[in-house]
Structure 1
Amino acid sequence: MTHTPPRHHDVIVVGAGQAGLSLSHYLQQRGIDHLLLEKNTPMHAWRHQRWDAFCLVTPNWQCKLPGHDYAGPEPHGFMKKGEIIAYLEAFLVKVNPPLMTGVTVRHVKPTSTGYTVHTSAGEFSARQVVVCSGGYHEPVVPRLAERLPAHIVQLHSEQYRNPQALPDGAVLVVGSGQSGAQIAEDLHLAGKQVHLAVGDAPRCARFYRGRDVVDWLADMGYYDMPVDQHPLREGVRDNTNHYVTGRDGGRDIDLRAFALQGMKLHGLLEGLQDGVMTFQDTLKDSLDQADRVYNGINAAIDRHIAQQGLDAPPPSVYEPVWQPLASVDHTRLDLAAAGITAVIWCIGFKPDFAWVDAPVFNGRGQPVHHRGVTSQPGLYFLGLPWLHTWGSGRFSGVARDALYLAEQIDAAQCRHLPAKQAGTSSPRSASATPC
């Protein structure tokens, strides 16, 4: 019986989002044979897992994919969903990667010469593997969701599209991170009665002392700070992102202001019994802590301005415009009495790297690495939050990380080339850097 050997590539890249495409850009520059495997289509999450009114929360000038900086007319604006997709589609055309779509990677296993990659399209082998599938795989929905009344529509944030797609009635949004806060705002602006379960997400100003806060933080070097120099070290990877928005040219998201306008705020979700949702008595503390972070970031900008002797508008301190009243119970919500017809779960995702069969994960299922390089030779990760800096999982920093990994991959390729090939252009392309 004839055995067909597995298809071999020097490098297999799993995932064709901005991380995988960025890496392909640099691997092609070095003439390194590689193949991208994508279970859906390139940039699938941007096309299919964002709501209609979605826009960037960071200014357009931070879009710096390799060889593809933002070149539009609004560098300090915030691209909307359609514009983001067009920007990424143009990047895909530029990179023109070696790509197979509709291929699910089911198992990656180390071998004596590299890796075996089992997929829905058959078996491949590779000397090196780069996981570029992100860290947001399985939507988190609590088990109590199973006990909600059947008539209540339930969506995860990745499924939400617009207020018009929901039934008439009030909506409960659970979670106040970036997605939860922006979806709650989207519903609120559409005239929906919104109940929001507020978590421990911090917030920041959109503009302060005459500039976007992102511009100030960039000048202060925050976005170049490596994770091992951050005060929280690797713990920063577990932090919830600050809520703010680029909608309508950019503005703060102030949950207290929403409450003044009729949004109902609650604490952390706790339980469900007999049609009554219960919440922890954490609302005031959560709002206060978010404001402390907000004012703390602004105070750091104040210090920078003073130290540099810069001319800027005067400083300010946010003062709460609303406080939870002791006479109002923010810990209970009778779903029927409140007319709740939909619940949107905005409490994030958990990773699923079960298909990567290598001893490189911690107790929470997260890969252990340094700048994406693991202890398993030839196995790398790219595109994860704070892989190296704040921008690692974003358009602003993934190019730097991809270049670094391409250099590591190139060096490993050279170490394993036969002696007669080292320093030659074969089997590498003529444009490749000699080993």
Structure 2
Amino acid sequence: MSTHVPVAVIGGGQAGLSVSWYLSRAGIEHVVLEAATPVHAWADSRWDNFTLVTPNWHCRLPGYAYDGPDPDGFMTRDEVVDWLSGWLDTFDAPVRTHTRVTRLRNGTDGGFELTLRTDAGEETLSCAHAVVATGGYPIPVLPSFAGALAPSVTQIHSEQYRNAGQLPDGAVLVVGTGQSGAQIAEDLHLAGRQVHLAVGNAPRVARFYRGRDCMTWLADMGLYDRPAAEYPGGKAAIEKTNHYVTGRDGGRDIDLRRFAAEGMRLYGTLVGGHDTAVQFAPTLRRALDHADVVYNSICADIDAYIERTGAAAGPPGRYTPVWEPETEPTALDLAAEGVTAIVWAIGYRPDYRWIEASAFDGGGRPMQNRGVTTVPGLSFIGLPWMHTWGSGRFLGVDSDARHIAETIIGAHRDSAPASPLRLAVGG
């Protein structure tokens, strides 16, 4: 079966549905193609004790914003699912669930041809505009040597982790200290498990500073709205891992040094392994120091903003290390230390092999400007740093979606054969 629709939005998460919200208000016929069900990832890919790391007031989507009793708190996974469900009830998005797009290619008469896989079989759909909203990096990364480790050691990726009880009894090696790795290590530590943690180069940030959440300060300073091209440090800065912190139990710092003082075992970057032996680079001290330097530099930036604006604030301060590594451990025998499981938290990679279009750089990342590519009619939404630091977060999705929708609406106006359709996306 082959059908045509003016616009196809591929992906039914909050980013794709935000574009749909604007297109619906403008009267643009479209369809949202979702491989599972809308915003399913929030329920299916987060651990039991997951919380947002951004304050609840950051949660804004088209026509909808958090209005609960705790704007400075941090919603749990289940609360986020409920909040998103409430948003979905406010409009009627034309979503086709359980419909996976397996191929996108140029159409014979312009536009695009999509191959769809559904429960009923395969079909094709043509469209003039395609908005890819499948997420920034959907493929979990595992190291090349993971398959060489002893089969007696359970291995899962961070997206599969739910709670300490799902892992076999014994110690756990967590690899990576981005937001997921640091928080999962904390979750296991609080559950009483012996944790071995391979520390990466991710920076960290204070949860609260001078009486307010640091992310509220940064929002007031305009950092989430600054275009990526204008961000200090350029491309290298924006490609770094996000700062680790947690919203758990009302929000607090994640201090790996304190975890170590409480018995967690810390190592540098994991670089290899075979059977039950794994090796680490001697990078632990440098990684901890770097994270603390970033932490204190952010506090200093907030200090400068307070001084410049006269904002009301508590007294300034700086983090002082509570623990220092005596050595740089470079090896670990998993069997000897009773390690029965590994949680890989080393990130994800892009996978756009199903898109047959010249819209990608050598690393497989979309070449785009505010989501719009040089391929006529092809756009992206929901990418980290797509336009600003807020892109890919609740705080920036609305603005990004509005821009993509306005681009599509403008193209429809320009191509109208008779009197242009009067369309509005305000409100």
Structure 1 length normalisation: TM-score?
A: 0.94
Counterparts of residues 122-141 of structure 1 (less than 5 Å): 122-141=123-142
Tell me, yes or no, if the aligned pair for 2:150 and 2:275 is still in contact at 8 Å. Answer: no
Q: 1:288 to 1:124 in 2, by over 3 A?
A: same
Distance in 1 separating the partners of 2:234 and 2:41? 28
Partner of 1:428: none
Deviations for 1:124-177, whole angstroms, at most 9, x for unmatched residues?
000100000011211001121101111111110000000011111000000000
Tell me, yes or no, if the aligned pair for 1:236 and 1:386 is still in contact at 8 Å. Answer: no
| 1:100 counterpart letter in structure 2 | R
Moved more, 255-264 or 265-274: 265-274
| 1:359 counterpart letter in structure 2 | S
What runs of 5+ residues in structure 2 fail to find an aligned partner? none
Partner of 1:298: 299
Counterparts of residues 211-360 of structure 1 (less than 5 Å): 211-273=212-274, 275-326=276-327, 329-360=328-359
Partner of 1:8: 4
Distance in 2 separating the partners of 1:95 and 1:123? 27
Deviations for 1:386-409, whole angstroms, at most 9, x for unmatched residues?
111111101111000000111100
Distance in 2 separating the partners of 1:249 and 1:38? 34
| 2:297 counterpart letter in structure 1 | G
User: Secondary structure at 1:107's aligned position in 2?
Assistant: strand
Deviations for 1:100-119, whole angstroms, at most 9, x for unmatched residues?
01111011112232110111
Tell me, yes or no, if the aligned pair for 1:78 and 1:246 is still in contact at 8 Å. Answer: yes
Q: CA deviation at 1:237?
A: 4.1
Kindly indicate whether residue 112 of structure 2 is the aligned counterpart of residue 115 of structure 1: yes
| 1:99 counterpart letter in structure 2 | V
RMSD value, Cα: 1.2
Distance in 2 separating the partners of 1:304 and 1:207? 15
Distance in 1 separating the partners of 2:193 and 2:184? 11
Q: 1:228 to 1:59 in 2, by over 3 A?
A: same
Distance in 2 separating the partners of 1:90 and 1:241? 28
User: Secondary structure at 2:31's aligned position in 1?
Assistant: strand
Distance in 2 separating the partners of 1:70 and 1:157? 28
Kindly indicate whether residue 372 of structure 2 is the aligned counterpart of residue 373 of structure 1: yes
Percent sequence identity over aligned pairs: 53
Kindly indicate whether residue 20 of structure 2 is the aligned counterpart of residue 39 of structure 1: no
Kindly indicate whether residue 53 of structure 2 is the aligned counterpart of residue 54 of structure 1: no
| 1:394 counterpart letter in structure 2 | R
Q: CA deviation at 1:68?
A: 1.0
Q: CA deviation at 1:432?
A: 5.1
| 1:136 counterpart letter in structure 2 | Y
| 2:22 counterpart letter in structure 1 | Y
Tell me, yes or no, if the aligned pair for 2:7 and 2:127 is still in contact at 8 Å. Answer: yes
Distance in 2 separating the partners of 1:379 and 1:311? 46
Distance in 2 separating the partners of 1:424 and 1:214? 42
Tell me, yes or no, if the aligned pair for 1:24 and 1:95 is still in contact at 8 Å. Answer: no
Moved more, 218-227 or 267-276: 267-276
What runs of 5+ residues in structure 1 fail to find an aligned partner? 426-430
Partner of 1:395: 394
Tell me, yes or no, if the aligned pair for 2:197 and 2:266 is still in contact at 8 Å. Answer: yes
| 2:116 counterpart letter in structure 1 | T
| 1:255 counterpart letter in structure 2 | L
Deviations for 1:261-285, whole angstroms, at most 9, x for unmatched residues?
0000000011114521100000000
Partner of 2:87: 91
Structure 2 length normalisation: TM-score?
A: 0.96
Q: Paired residues, what number? A: 420
Q: 1:30 to 1:235 in 2, by over 3 A?
A: farther
User: Secondary structure at 1:414's aligned position in 2?
Assistant: helix
Distance in 2 separating the partners of 1:393 and 1:232? 20
